[in-house]
Structure 1
């Protein structure tokens, strides 16, 4: 399921962020007649409002694969059948359609404006409900993260020509199973 370049490409805007056409009806119908769990695979360049699928107990997994290319089918099968751990994180927030209905596309301000009712954009400023938040991701294992060491203050120069130095942060990641899996930790 998902989108293609007929609705999601340069100089083309989607009319909404739901699954196009009758895809949500098809997904719901398949889930209703399925004798086992359903895995929804979404191919798209951006987030989509799939709250209906999150709320459906028969749909046990939602896997976003972007636009995966010619080797995508084999890679998706490896994830679905457990040969590869889906350990990545979403690079964007998936908003509900109701958010998109309220935010004018002509306003690209990031911060919310309470006087006008503007909700703000991105994970930093929008505080309403989301389908999936920025950085969301699941794994076939459980990982525990412990912050070991981090600087109390990081100073970043803002003058032109100055180099931004790196800072060091140490995180201990513990996996609770014996499988050889990867975990990606986002740090900001």
Structure 2
């Protein structure tokens, strides 16, 4: 697989950050901060929990980047760290109080409508994505929105590749039904 300029830049920044280059790490954080925050939101469904998990994830990334030996593994590694932080956050919330309906109500993700597409379909897609279970929403986000392959999504979510495929299959079925008006 040919690597893109973006991937090569990320690999360079990771290698530089690993040697202690603060500017490279700052650029890496600028490039990946929003993606990791979006991933955390997809997992938690709560903006505050997502911010906290992403921030904790960045602390772990800063502390551990020097141990990352393959720069190409950074995206999946970083997503995996944030996934674990989200699981910890969710665990704390569940221990402190039962999940309420407010956790299920999510803000609408801003997904650009397809070129020349039906704006109503875009709104239905946003609503359908927000209504997906957290695990399916996370798999869809990483696979379709972040262009990760099945293996990378599996690493990022810390689940087997077959589980990722199953989550994507169920999510596609749900999304198709919503977009075709069956739901």
Bucket of the pairwise TM-score, normalised by the shorter protein: under 0.3
Which has the larger helix fraction?
Answer: 2
Higher relative contact order (CA 8 A, sep 6+): 2
Greater Rg, structure 1 or structure 2?
Answer: 1
| Normalised TM-score (structure 2) | 0.23
Which has the larger strand fraction?
Answer: 1
